[in-house]
C-alpha cells in the first residue's frame, strides 16, 4: 500500500535525521522524534526503521541510513521480532567503536553518557509541519 504524502514526509524526515547521527554515536527514538518536530511519536520512529528498505533502489535504505545508531531511552537496544536482530545491531555498533555490554536480562546496552548524541535542534529542512 502506498503511503500518504504526510506519512512519506514523516518517513523521509526520520531517515534524513538519522543520517545526521555521527559515526560512533547513538541517539534515541524519542530524540529523533523531538528533533523533527513530533516529540509525541517515538514509536513511529521505530516503525519507520522497521520498514527501512534494504534495496539500494530506494533513496533511503539500510545502506544509506545508519539504523544501528538509534536505541531506546534506557540505553538498550530494543528487541526485535527476529531473535538475532538486537545482536546484529550491537555488532554493527561495535564495528563503529561503540562499546556495548550485556545486562543480566540479556539486553545489549550502550552508555548514553559516553556515546549519546543529543543536539538541541536539527536544520529546519528536517522538521515536520
Task: Tell me what percent of the residues of the chain surpass a pLDDT of 70.
Answer: 94
CA–CA separation, 83 vs 123, rounded Å?
36
At 54, which CATH number? Answer: 1.10.10.10
Q: Is residue 27 part of a domain?
A: yes
Residue 98 counted as domain residue? no
In a domain, 120, yes or no: yes
pTM of the predicted structure, to 2 decimals: 0.91
- Which cell numbers in the block locate residue 116? 549519546
The verdict on residue 30 lying in a domain is yes
The pLDDT value recorded for residue 120 is 87
Instruction: Give the model's pLDDT for residue 129.
Output: 57
Per-residue pLDDT of the chain (129 residues; tens, 9 = 90+): 578 989 999 999 999 999 999 999 999 999 999 999 999 999 999 999 999 999 889 899 999 999 999 999 999 998 877 778 899 999 999 999 999 999 998 899 999 999 999 998 876 555 565
pLDDT value of residue 91: 96
Alpha-carbon distance of 114 to 109, in angstroms, equals 12
pLDDT of 3 reads 82
For residue 93, being part of any structural domain is answered with no
- The answer as to whether 48 is a domain residue is yes
- Tell me whether residue 70 is in a domain: yes
CB 33 within 8 A of CB 11: no
Count of domains observed in the chain: 1
Domain boundaries, position 21: 5-74+112-126
Does a structural domain hold residue 91? no
Q: From the CB of residue 40, how many other CB atoms can be counted at a distance below 10 Å?
A: 9
DSSP-derived pairing of the beta strands 70-71 and 27-28: parallel
Cell of 30: 524519542
pLDDT in tens, 21-57: 999 999 999 999 999 999 999 999 999 999 999 988 9
Amino acid at each position: 500500500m502506498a503511503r500518504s504524502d504526510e506519512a512519506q514526509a514523516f518517513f523521509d524526515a526520520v531517515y534524513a535525521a538519522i543520517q545526521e547521527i555521527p559515526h560512533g554515536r547513538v541517539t534515541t527514538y524519542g530524540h529523533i522524534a523531538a528533533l523533527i518536530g513530533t516529540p509525541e511519536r517515538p514509536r513511529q520512529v521505530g516503525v519507520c526503521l522497521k520498514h527501512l528498505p534494504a534495496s539500494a533502489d530506494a533513496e533511503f535504505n539500510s545502506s544509506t541510513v545508519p539504523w544501528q545508531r538509534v536505541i531506546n531511552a534506557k540505553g538498550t537496544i530494543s528487541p526485535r521480532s527476529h531473535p538475532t536482530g538486537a545482536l546484529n545491531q550491537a555488532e554493527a555498533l561495535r564495528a563503529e567503536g561503540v562499546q556495548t555490554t550485556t545486562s543480566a536480562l540479556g539486553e545489549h546496552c550502550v552508555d548514553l553518557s559516553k556515546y549519546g548524541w543529543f543536539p538541541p535542534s536539527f536544520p529546519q529542512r528536517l522538521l515536520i509541519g
